[in-house]
């Protein structure tokens, strides 16, 4: 549509530009700093808790650092998945935003919520084929990136 063609409404005539300006004036301003701070604190707390798990797995259970790190990731995935299943994740995410989405809790949340959403379509066509919703994107782009990066590093070195 041409930029300045008047929109045809019954009472007011606004150009596209004026309309967009009006919309952006009325839209609530996103409190960027406040939301960034919330994400910082909640994401930081998840990682601090993860660090506590990591050191507990190493010191108390005698795991190697690598094994303890894998166990920590698995534990956080389990917690994120359970919070999603119990219906608490969205409430936490409304406050924490990227603070719970960027850690693996968000990865677990995307898988559980996607699988639950399609559950009524059955075990195969529902849960099975929808387990990787957004998590599928992460794996696809992660693997392709890793292949290209690995190829370049191998060729250079």
Chain residues 39-78 in contact with other proteins, contact rule CB under 8 A = 39-55, 69-74, 76-78
Among 37, 95, 121, 129, binds other proteins (CB under 8 A): 37
Residues in the chain, overall count? 157
Rounded CA-CA distance 136/118 in Å is: 15
Interacting residues of 114 by C-beta distance below 8 A, sequence separation 6+: 130, 131, 132, 133, 134, 135
Is residue 118 helix, strand or coil?
coil
**In the complex, what is the shortest distance from the CB of residue 156 to other proteins, in angstroms, rounded to a whole number?**
9
104 binds other proteins (CB under 8 A): yes
Of 21 and 145, nearer to other proteins (C-beta) is 145
Q: Does 129 bind other proteins (CB under 8 A)?
A: no
Min dist CB 88 to other proteins, Å, is 10
Structure tokens at 35: 């939301």
Smallest distance from other proteins to CB 24, Å: 14
**Smallest gap from residue 17 Cβ to other proteins (A):** 20
Output 10 or 123, the one with its CB closest to other proteins.
123
Q: What angle do CA 135, 138, 142 make, to 5 degrees?
A: 145
Q: Total residues contacting other proteins (rule CB under 8 A)?
A: 76
Closest CA to 41 of 97, 105, 106, 109: 97
Pair of tokens at residue 66: 């690598």
């Amino acid at each position: 549509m041409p930029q300045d063609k008047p929109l045809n409404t019954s009472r007011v005539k606004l150009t596209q530009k004026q309309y967009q300006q009006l919309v952006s004036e009325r839209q609530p301003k996103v409190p960027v700093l406040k939301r960034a701070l919330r994400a910082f604190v909640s994401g930081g707390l998840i990682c601090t808790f993860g660090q506590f798990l990591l050191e507990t797995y190493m010191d108390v259970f005698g795991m190697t650092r690598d094994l303890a790190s894998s166990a920590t990731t698995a534990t956080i995935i389990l917690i994120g998945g359970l919070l999603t299943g119990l219906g608490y994740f969205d409430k936490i995410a409304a406050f924490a935003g990227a603070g719970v989405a960027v850690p693996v809790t968000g990865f677990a949340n995307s898988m559980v919520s996607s699988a639950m959403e399609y559950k009524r379509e059955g075990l195969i066509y529902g849960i099975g084929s929808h387990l990787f919703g957004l998590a599928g994107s992460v794996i696809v782009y992660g693997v392709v990136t890793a292949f290209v990066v690995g190829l370049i590093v191998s060729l250079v070195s």
